[in-house]
Structure 1
Amino acid sequence: MAETTTIRISRDTHARVTRLAAERHETIDELVSSALRALRQDGMGRDLSEDLTEDETAWLDADAG
């Protein structure tokens, strides 16, 4: 495992993370990494679903040649 550190979370959250990691046959580190990636992807999806700005539309409609 890479270098580690400690983060403070409530006992309830720790129990939930531990239980979910066990259900998925993952370490807590693997579970948290997966969760962070999913959150990042969710944010990208929300960004991509927004309407384009006028500048973005003009750039996409510009003649490339």
Structure 2
Amino acid sequence: MAETTTIRISRDTHAQVTRLAAERHETIDETVSKAIRALRQDAMARDLAATLTEHETAWLDADAG
């Protein structure tokens, strides 16, 4: 296992992540890592779904050659 550290979370959050990890047959570390990845993916999806600015549209429509 990699080096570890301690983070402070509420007892309620700890209980929720412990329960979720058990349901998924994972360690808490695996569950938290997957949650972080999902949050990053969600942020990327929101960025990709955002309306393009005029500058971005012009750049995409520019003649490449």
- Report if TM-score (shorter chain) is over 0.5: yes
How many residues in Structure 1 have an aligned counterpart in Structure 2? 65
Q: SS state of the match for residue 7, structure 1?
A: coil
Q: Structure 2: how far apart are the matches of 1:2 and 1:37?
A: 18
Q: How many percent of aligned residue pairs carry the same amino acid?
A: 85
Unaligned runs of 5+ in 1: none
Does residue 44 (structure 1) correspond to residue 22 (structure 2)? The answer is no
Show the counterpart of 1:28. Answer: 28
Q: Which letter maps to 1:60?
A: L
* Aligned-pair CA distance for 1:59: 0.6
Deviations 1:7-64 (A, max 9, x none): 0011111111111100000000000000000000001111111110111001100011
What TM-score, normalized by structure 2, do the two folds share? Answer: 0.96
The root-mean-square deviation of aligned C-alpha atoms, in Å, is: 0.6
User: Which aligned segments of 4 or more residues in structure 1 are displaced greater than 4 angstroms?
Assistant: none
